[in-house]
Chain A
Amino acid sequence: MRLPLIITLIASPLLLAINPASAQNSPAGAKPASDAKVWGALVYAADPAETDLPDGVATNAVAFDDISTRLGKVFPDKKFILLGEHTQDIFREYESWVVPSKHLFAKIDSKGRDPEDRLLLHLQFWHDEDVIAKADAVLEAGSPLFIGGPKWRNGRLILVVLLAGDKKDS
């Protein structure tokens, strides 16, 4: 009588490990552990002379001012408009989606933290229904990742991924 019970107890975690999607079907309240919190943003790098610019979203002005300044170092002579943003927990052992826009977004698989407390991850950059690029990356708090995507209008769309938290002194 005890044998089926023992087999069930052993097999359950194995089945969950094989099919993480089934774990996502767990009842609400069983929130999986989070490795980090990531801020993802879709930014339009526009020509400063461009008129009739698309509407941006309201956000924390101080934080985006800092990102705009940094973007300006990499993409000079551009004006940056925040089209969308999404702050998301990056779950341990589960795929996580950072979706500041339904057009351009990212899937992140966490590989945990390294000894310097940086986040190791596998990232997929999506444009509509296509994976444009895949990357293995290391994210440090305060040091953003700028992904230069397709050209649009007179500028370019950029996905920004930033690990939340204080930057460690190196």
Chain B
Amino acid sequence: MNPQDEERITQWIDGDLSDADVQDLLDAHPELREAKSQSESLGHLLRKELDSGEKIPYADFFNHQLNKRIEEEDESPAATAARQEALAESMFPRFMFFKKLAPIAALAVIAVFVTLLFVNVPVGGSKIVSTYTPNPALEAKTFYSDEADATVLLIEGLAEIPAQQNITGVQAVGYTPGEGASHFTLYSPNNKPILALAIDHAAQPRLRELKF
């Protein structure tokens, strides 16, 4: 097919070709008859299936959205970001206010973190790291009292000791291991033996007051 024939085919499609020229073209290229026939069949089918007379609902809105989409595709990324921010600010003004504060807040958090890292925060006092009560009926509560500068371990759920039971203590100074067979003697400040401590084979302490 020479360039002139291609030009005549274009004119034929556009409807600018005279009947005589169309006949000449089809005589020269008989395969175009079949192509023309298929094209006409497709046109009839489309017109039959699609009601070209149906109106688009809300045509103005449709056209507006279509034009807007075309403009968006044509505009630069910077322009898109500016337009979206303007839209967000108009819809959520408070949100945009906090959004502007975000960098300042981030700097403040970093400043506090660095301060905690480098400032010598006093961390004194005794403390309880962990507790365990073998009897599940008991509960151990711990806290630190700033006022007393003391650590407190409260054991709740203990049975009350009967008031008539005599609870006594001793005034003892340290014992020294090595006195034999896991038996230790505690002495009073004036060097009198007052308490015997023995650890049995089950690691159970046995205490006995010594009377002299």
Chain A residues within CB distance 8 Å of chain B:
21, 23-32, 37, 42, 44, 54, 57-59, 70-71, 73-74, 82-89, 91, 94-95, 97, 99-105, 107, 118, 125-127, 129-140, 142-154, 157, 163, 167-168, 170
Contact = CB atoms under 8 A, between A and B. Distances in A.
B127 to A, nearest CB: 5
A123 B119 CA distance: 33
Contact of B160 (A37, A137, A146, A151): A151
A95 B182 CA distance: 11
> Which 7 residue pairs are nearest across A and B when measured between Cβ atoms?
A84-B169, A170-B124, A83-B169, A73-B148, A70-B148, A101-B169, A148-B154
B199 A21 contact: yes
Interface string B139-174: 010100101111111110011110101111111111
B152 A107 contact: no
Given A84-B171, A102-B170, A148 B155 contact: yes
B132 A135 contact: yes
Contacts of B179: 28
B197 interface: yes
A82 B133 CA distance: 26
B9 interface: no
What does DSSP make chain A's interface, helix, strand, loop or mixed? strand
Nearest to A153: B163
Given A57-B171, A99-B170, A143-B124, A25 B129 contact: no
A148 B181 CA distance: 33
B152 A97 contact: no
A118 B127 CA distance: 10
Contacts of B57: none
B14 to A, nearest CB: 93
Contacts of A148: 152-155
Contacts of A83: 167-169
Interface stretch (B15-23, B67-75, B101-109, B201-209): B201-209
Contacts of B208: 102
28 contacts: A26-B177, A28-B178, A31-B177, A44-B167, A54-B168, A58-B171, A70-B148, A70-B150, A84-B170, A84-B172, A99-B172, A99-B197, A102-B207, A126-B205, A132-B155, A134-B131, A135-B131, A135-B132, A136-B128, A136-B130, A138-B127, A140-B125, A143-B126, A146-B151, A146-B153, A147-B152, A157-B161, A157-B167
